[in-house]
A and B are shown apart, each in its own frame.
Chain A
Protein backbone atom coordinates (compact mmCIF):
# COMPACT_ATOMS: atom_id res chain seq x y z
CA UNK A 1 0.00 0.00 0.00
CA UNK A 2 1.19 3.52 -0.75
CA UNK A 3 0.56 6.58 1.33
CA UNK A 4 1.57 9.90 -0.12
CA UNK A 5 3.58 8.11 -2.79
CA UNK A 6 5.61 6.15 -0.27
CA UNK A 7 5.16 2.42 0.31
CA UNK A 8 3.80 1.44 3.70
CA UNK A 9 3.90 -2.23 4.61
CA UNK A 10 1.56 -4.31 6.71
CA UNK A 11 3.46 -3.56 9.89
CA UNK A 12 3.31 0.12 9.17
CA UNK A 13 -0.43 0.04 8.65
CA UNK A 14 -0.83 -2.04 11.80
CA UNK A 15 1.28 0.42 13.79
CA UNK A 16 -0.76 3.38 12.58
CA UNK A 17 -4.00 1.54 13.33
CA UNK A 18 -2.87 0.67 16.86
CA UNK A 19 -1.81 4.28 17.39
CA UNK A 20 -5.16 5.50 16.14
CA UNK A 21 -7.01 3.22 18.55
CA UNK A 22 -4.71 4.19 21.43
CA UNK A 23 -5.37 7.82 20.58
CA UNK A 24 -9.11 7.21 20.68
CA UNK A 25 -8.80 5.55 24.10
CA UNK A 26 -6.72 8.43 25.42
CA UNK A 27 -9.18 10.88 23.91
CA UNK A 28 -12.09 9.11 25.57
CA UNK A 29 -10.23 9.30 28.86
CA UNK A 30 -9.62 13.00 28.31
CA UNK A 31 -13.26 13.59 27.43
CA UNK A 32 -14.65 11.75 30.45
CA UNK A 33 -12.26 13.44 32.89
CA UNK A 34 -12.42 16.90 31.36
CA UNK A 35 -14.35 18.34 34.29
CA UNK A 36 -12.20 16.71 36.97
CA UNK A 37 -8.90 17.84 35.54
CA UNK A 38 -9.99 21.37 34.74
CA UNK A 39 -8.44 24.16 36.72
CA UNK A 40 -10.72 26.33 38.84
CA UNK A 41 -11.53 29.42 36.84
CA UNK A 42 -10.17 32.78 37.78
CA UNK A 43 -13.59 33.89 38.96
CA UNK A 44 -13.57 31.36 41.78
CA UNK A 45 -15.21 28.00 42.54
CA UNK A 46 -13.42 24.72 42.88
CA UNK A 47 -12.83 22.27 40.09
CA UNK A 48 -15.17 19.69 41.51
CA UNK A 49 -17.94 22.12 42.34
CA UNK A 50 -20.00 23.73 39.64
CA UNK A 51 -18.69 27.14 38.75
CA UNK A 52 -20.57 29.90 40.42
CA UNK A 53 -21.99 32.55 38.18
CA UNK A 54 -20.00 35.74 38.23
CA UNK A 55 -21.83 37.79 40.74
CA UNK A 56 -21.55 41.23 42.17
CA UNK A 57 -19.51 41.85 45.32
CA UNK A 58 -22.73 41.91 47.26
CA UNK A 59 -23.75 38.59 45.82
CA UNK A 60 -20.39 37.10 46.68
CA UNK A 61 -20.66 38.29 50.24
CA UNK A 62 -24.17 37.02 50.56
CA UNK A 63 -23.11 33.64 49.26
CA UNK A 64 -20.30 33.39 51.76
CA UNK A 65 -22.25 34.81 54.63
CA UNK A 66 -25.06 32.36 54.18
CA UNK A 67 -22.66 29.41 54.51
CA UNK A 68 -23.56 27.56 51.34
CA UNK A 69 -24.34 23.88 51.38
CA UNK A 70 -21.28 23.17 49.31
CA UNK A 71 -18.13 22.23 51.17
CA UNK A 72 -16.71 25.23 52.88
CA UNK A 73 -14.36 25.60 55.79
CA UNK A 74 -16.44 28.51 56.85
CA UNK A 75 -19.44 26.26 57.31
CA UNK A 76 -20.22 25.00 60.80
CA UNK A 77 -18.60 21.68 61.64
CA UNK A 78 -20.72 18.74 60.64
CA UNK A 79 -22.98 20.71 58.35
CA UNK A 80 -21.17 19.62 55.22
CA UNK A 81 -18.35 17.42 54.14
CA UNK A 82 -15.00 19.21 54.29
CA UNK A 83 -13.48 20.70 51.20
CA UNK A 84 -10.65 18.77 49.65
CA UNK A 85 -7.11 19.65 50.52
CA UNK A 86 -5.20 21.49 47.86
CA UNK A 87 -2.57 18.74 47.88
CA UNK A 88 -5.22 16.20 46.84
CA UNK A 89 -6.37 18.18 43.84
CA UNK A 90 -5.10 17.34 40.36
CA UNK A 91 -3.86 20.88 39.90
CA UNK A 92 -1.79 20.92 43.11
CA UNK A 93 1.41 20.44 41.14
CA UNK A 94 1.03 23.74 39.36
CA UNK A 95 -0.41 25.94 42.08
CA UNK A 96 1.80 28.90 42.94
CA UNK A 97 1.21 30.91 46.08
CA UNK A 98 0.73 34.59 45.42
CA UNK A 99 -0.65 35.72 48.77
CA UNK A 100 0.43 36.30 51.49
CA UNK A 101 4.07 37.16 51.01
CA UNK A 102 6.09 37.95 47.96
CA UNK A 103 5.27 35.74 44.99
CA UNK A 104 8.12 33.52 43.80
CA UNK A 105 9.60 33.87 40.35
CA UNK A 106 7.46 30.99 39.12
CA UNK A 107 4.37 32.55 40.65
CA UNK A 108 5.12 35.84 38.95
CA UNK A 109 5.53 34.03 35.65
CA UNK A 110 2.31 32.12 36.25
CA UNK A 111 0.55 35.46 36.74
CA UNK A 112 1.66 36.67 33.33
CA UNK A 113 -1.29 38.23 31.59
CA UNK A 114 -3.36 38.18 34.77
CA UNK A 115 -4.19 40.80 37.33
CA UNK A 116 -4.84 39.49 40.83
CA UNK A 117 -5.67 41.73 43.76
CA UNK A 118 -6.11 40.37 47.27
CA UNK A 119 -7.43 42.20 50.31
CA UNK A 120 -8.25 40.93 53.76
CA UNK A 121 -11.85 41.38 54.71
CA UNK A 122 -13.14 40.09 58.00
CA UNK A 123 -12.11 36.48 58.38
CA UNK A 124 -11.79 36.03 54.66
CA UNK A 125 -10.14 37.36 51.57
CA UNK A 126 -11.58 39.58 48.93
CA UNK A 127 -10.00 38.51 45.67
CA UNK A 128 -10.27 40.18 42.34
CA UNK A 129 -8.78 38.28 39.42
CA UNK A 130 -8.96 38.91 35.75
CA UNK A 131 -7.15 39.03 32.48
CA UNK A 132 -5.13 42.11 31.66
CA UNK A 133 -6.80 44.02 28.88
CA UNK A 134 -10.23 42.63 29.64
CA UNK A 135 -12.88 44.08 31.91
CA UNK A 136 -12.10 43.17 35.50
CA UNK A 137 -14.37 40.60 37.07
CA UNK A 138 -16.14 41.57 40.28
CA UNK A 139 -14.32 40.78 43.52
CA UNK A 140 -15.11 37.50 45.18
CA UNK A 141 -15.12 36.98 48.94
CA UNK A 142 -13.57 33.76 50.14
CA UNK A 143 -14.73 33.32 53.71
CA UNK A 144 -12.03 31.75 55.86
CA UNK A 145 -9.45 32.05 53.13
CA UNK A 146 -5.86 32.59 54.15
CA UNK A 147 -3.81 31.83 51.06
CA UNK A 148 -4.23 32.54 47.38
CA UNK A 149 -2.68 30.46 44.64
CA UNK A 150 -2.54 31.07 40.94
CA UNK A 151 -2.73 27.99 38.74
CA UNK A 152 -0.78 27.68 35.54
CA UNK A 153 -0.38 24.20 34.07
CA UNK A 154 2.21 25.22 31.49
CA UNK A 155 4.43 28.21 32.06
CA UNK A 156 5.61 27.87 28.49
CA UNK A 157 2.50 29.52 27.11
CA UNK A 158 3.49 32.84 28.61
CA UNK A 159 5.48 35.26 26.58
CA UNK A 160 6.43 38.71 27.71
CA UNK A 161 3.29 40.10 29.22
CA UNK A 162 0.91 37.87 27.30
CA UNK A 163 -0.59 34.51 28.16
CA UNK A 164 -1.50 32.66 24.99
CA UNK A 165 -3.56 29.98 26.68
CA UNK A 166 -5.79 31.05 29.51
CA UNK A 167 -7.42 27.63 29.50
CA UNK A 168 -4.82 26.28 31.90
CA UNK A 169 -4.90 29.25 34.27
CA UNK A 170 -6.96 29.46 37.39
CA UNK A 171 -7.12 30.65 40.92
CA UNK A 172 -7.65 28.83 44.17
CA UNK A 173 -7.94 30.03 47.75
CA UNK A 174 -7.24 27.82 50.74
CA UNK A 175 -7.90 28.13 54.44
CA UNK A 176 -5.40 27.68 57.25
CA UNK A 177 -5.64 23.88 56.88
CA UNK A 178 -4.84 24.14 53.19
CA UNK A 179 -8.37 23.13 52.27
CA UNK A 180 -9.81 24.66 49.15
CA UNK A 181 -12.27 27.43 49.85
CA UNK A 182 -15.15 27.38 47.39
Chain B
Protein backbone atom coordinates (compact mmCIF):
# COMPACT_ATOMS: atom_id res chain seq x y z
CA UNK B 1 0.00 0.00 0.00
CA UNK B 2 1.50 3.29 -0.99
CA UNK B 3 1.16 6.29 1.22
CA UNK B 4 0.89 9.78 -0.21
CA UNK B 5 4.32 11.27 -0.39
CA UNK B 6 4.89 14.62 1.12
CA UNK B 7 5.86 17.21 -1.42
CA UNK B 8 9.55 17.14 -1.97
CA UNK B 9 11.91 19.71 -3.29
CA UNK B 10 10.85 19.03 -6.85
CA UNK B 11 7.24 19.70 -6.07
CA UNK B 12 8.02 23.00 -4.34
CA UNK B 13 10.25 23.93 -7.16
CA UNK B 14 7.44 23.42 -9.61
CA UNK B 15 5.09 25.60 -7.59
CA UNK B 16 7.55 28.40 -6.95
CA UNK B 17 7.10 30.44 -10.15
CA UNK B 18 3.32 30.56 -9.74
CA UNK B 19 3.63 31.50 -6.08
CA UNK B 20 6.19 34.15 -6.90
CA UNK B 21 3.96 35.49 -9.63
CA UNK B 22 1.00 35.58 -7.28
CA UNK B 23 3.07 37.23 -4.58
CA UNK B 24 4.46 39.67 -7.07
CA UNK B 25 1.01 40.42 -8.40
CA UNK B 26 -0.29 40.89 -4.87
CA UNK B 27 2.63 43.09 -4.05
CA UNK B 28 2.01 45.18 -7.17
CA UNK B 29 -1.64 45.51 -6.28
CA UNK B 30 -0.77 46.54 -2.77
CA UNK B 31 1.74 49.05 -4.07
CA UNK B 32 -0.84 50.48 -6.45
CA UNK B 33 -3.40 50.71 -3.64
CA UNK B 34 -0.85 52.40 -1.42
CA UNK B 35 0.02 54.91 -4.11
CA UNK B 36 -3.65 55.58 -4.67
CA UNK B 37 -4.21 56.08 -0.95
CA UNK B 38 -1.22 58.41 -0.65
CA UNK B 39 -2.62 60.52 -3.47
CA UNK B 40 -6.30 60.50 -2.66
CA UNK B 41 -6.78 59.78 1.03
CA UNK B 42 -5.83 63.35 1.98
CA UNK B 43 -8.32 64.60 -0.60
CA UNK B 44 -11.07 62.48 0.93
CA UNK B 45 -10.02 63.68 4.38
CA UNK B 46 -10.13 67.36 3.55
CA UNK B 47 -13.38 67.11 1.55
CA UNK B 48 -15.09 65.29 4.41
CA UNK B 49 -13.73 67.72 6.98
CA UNK B 50 -14.87 70.56 4.73
CA UNK B 51 -18.36 69.03 4.63
CA UNK B 52 -18.51 68.92 8.41
CA UNK B 53 -17.33 72.51 8.76
CA UNK B 54 -19.63 73.75 5.99
CA UNK B 55 -22.69 72.09 7.48
CA UNK B 56 -22.11 73.54 10.92
CA UNK B 57 -20.98 76.91 9.55
CA UNK B 58 -24.06 77.30 7.39
CA UNK B 59 -26.47 76.37 10.16
CA UNK B 60 -24.76 78.56 12.70
CA UNK B 61 -25.03 81.50 10.32
CA UNK B 62 -28.63 80.91 9.36
CA UNK B 63 -30.04 80.01 12.77
CA UNK B 64 -27.57 81.23 15.37
CA UNK B 65 -30.15 81.11 18.14
CA UNK B 66 -30.12 77.34 18.08
CA UNK B 67 -26.39 77.18 18.80
CA UNK B 68 -25.94 79.66 21.61
CA UNK B 69 -26.17 76.88 24.17
CA UNK B 70 -22.68 75.81 23.15
CA UNK B 71 -21.09 79.20 23.81
CA UNK B 72 -19.14 78.90 27.03
CA UNK B 73 -19.37 81.46 29.82
CA UNK B 74 -21.82 83.75 28.02
CA UNK B 75 -25.57 83.51 28.64
CA UNK B 76 -27.27 81.66 25.75
CA UNK B 77 -30.00 84.30 25.64
CA UNK B 78 -27.60 87.18 25.17
CA UNK B 79 -26.82 89.00 21.94
CA UNK B 80 -23.15 88.39 22.62
CA UNK B 81 -23.76 84.65 22.33
CA UNK B 82 -25.49 85.17 18.97
CA UNK B 83 -22.58 87.27 17.70
CA UNK B 84 -20.11 84.63 18.90
CA UNK B 85 -22.02 81.93 17.02
CA UNK B 86 -22.15 84.06 13.87
CA UNK B 87 -18.41 84.71 13.93
CA UNK B 88 -17.78 81.02 14.56
CA UNK B 89 -20.09 80.04 11.71
CA UNK B 90 -18.44 82.49 9.33
CA UNK B 91 -15.00 81.11 10.16
CA UNK B 92 -16.19 77.54 9.67
CA UNK B 93 -17.68 78.38 6.28
CA UNK B 94 -14.52 80.08 4.99
CA UNK B 95 -12.34 77.25 6.30
CA UNK B 96 -14.63 74.71 4.68
CA UNK B 97 -14.30 76.34 1.27
CA UNK B 98 -10.55 76.67 1.68
CA UNK B 99 -10.26 72.98 2.49
CA UNK B 100 -12.62 71.87 -0.26
CA UNK B 101 -10.75 73.89 -2.86
CA UNK B 102 -7.35 72.93 -1.53
CA UNK B 103 -6.41 76.54 -0.71
CA UNK B 104 -3.78 76.93 1.99
CA UNK B 105 -4.98 73.61 3.31
CA UNK B 106 -2.44 73.25 6.07
CA UNK B 107 -3.23 76.67 7.47
CA UNK B 108 -6.97 76.02 7.10
CA UNK B 109 -6.61 72.65 8.79
CA UNK B 110 -4.60 74.25 11.59
CA UNK B 111 -7.27 76.89 12.20
CA UNK B 112 -9.96 74.21 12.05
CA UNK B 113 -7.98 72.18 14.59
CA UNK B 114 -7.84 75.17 16.92
CA UNK B 115 -11.61 75.67 16.65
CA UNK B 116 -12.24 71.96 17.19
CA UNK B 117 -9.89 71.86 20.14
CA UNK B 118 -11.86 74.66 21.75
CA UNK B 119 -15.06 72.69 21.11
CA UNK B 120 -13.67 69.48 22.56
CA UNK B 121 -12.36 71.25 25.66
CA UNK B 122 -15.62 73.12 26.11
CA UNK B 123 -17.71 69.95 25.75
CA UNK B 124 -15.45 68.05 28.11
CA UNK B 125 -15.72 70.73 30.76
CA UNK B 126 -19.49 71.08 30.42
CA UNK B 127 -20.46 67.42 30.10
CA UNK B 128 -17.40 65.26 30.61
CA UNK B 129 -16.23 62.58 28.22
CA UNK B 130 -19.12 61.31 26.14
CA UNK B 131 -19.84 60.00 22.68
CA UNK B 132 -20.24 63.55 21.41
CA UNK B 133 -16.94 64.70 22.87
CA UNK B 134 -15.02 61.74 21.53
CA UNK B 135 -16.59 62.06 18.09
CA UNK B 136 -15.40 65.65 17.95
CA UNK B 137 -12.01 64.50 19.19
CA UNK B 138 -11.89 62.23 16.14
CA UNK B 139 -12.68 65.14 13.82
CA UNK B 140 -9.99 67.13 15.63
CA UNK B 141 -7.58 64.29 14.86
CA UNK B 142 -8.49 64.50 11.18
CA UNK B 143 -7.84 68.25 11.16
CA UNK B 144 -4.49 67.78 12.90
CA UNK B 145 -3.51 65.10 10.38
CA UNK B 146 -4.28 67.42 7.48
CA UNK B 147 -1.94 70.07 8.88
CA UNK B 148 0.93 67.80 7.95
CA UNK B 149 -0.15 66.77 4.48
CA UNK B 150 0.65 68.71 1.35
CA UNK B 151 -2.18 68.54 -1.13
CA UNK B 152 -1.55 67.56 -4.71
CA UNK B 153 -4.93 66.43 -6.01
CA UNK B 154 -8.12 68.37 -6.65
CA UNK B 155 -6.53 71.70 -5.82
CA UNK B 156 -7.54 75.06 -7.23
CA UNK B 157 -4.18 76.22 -8.57
CA UNK B 158 -4.45 79.68 -10.12
Contacts and interface: CB of A to CB of B under 8 A. Distances in A.
Contact of B156 (A4, A15, A24, A153): A15
B38 interface: no
A31 B82 contact: yes
Interface stretch (A72-80, A99-107, A157-165, A172-180): A157-165
17 contacts: A8-B104, A11-B157, A12-B104, A12-B156, A15-B97, A22-B93, A26-B61, A27-B90, A30-B63, A34-B64, A37-B65, A159-B133, A160-B130, A165-B66, A165-B70, A167-B65, A167-B69
B48 interface: no
Contacts of B107: 3-6
Nearest to A91: B66
Contact of B94 (A23, A154, A157, A162): A23
Contacts of B127: 159, 162, 164
B64 A16 contact: no
Contacts of B81: 167
Contacts of A3: 103-104, 107
Interface of A: 3-6, 8-12, 15-16, 19-20, 22-24, 26-27, 29-31, 33-35, 37-39, 153-154, 156-157, 159-160, 162, 164-169
B2 interface: no
A47 B27 CA distance: 64
Given A3-B107, A33-B63, A159-B130, 20 more contacts: A4-B110, A8-B103, A10-B158, A12-B101, A15-B101, A20-B94, A23-B90, A24-B90, A26-B93, A30-B89, A34-B65, A34-B82, A38-B66, A154-B66, A164-B69, A164-B126, A167-B65, A167-B67, A168-B66, A168-B69
Interface in B53-84: 57-58, 60-70, 76, 81-82
Ranked nearest first, the 4 interchain pairs of A and B with the lowest CB-CB distance are A4-B107, A167-B69, A9-B158, A165-B69
A24 B83 CA distance: 12
A168 B67 contact: yes
Interface string B86-120: 10011001100110010111111010000000000
A37 to B, nearest CB: 5
B82 to A, nearest CB: 6
A3 B156 CA distance: 14
A12 B66 CA distance: 32
Contacts of B104: 3-4, 6, 8, 12
Contacts of A167: 65-70, 76, 81
Nearest to A36: B65
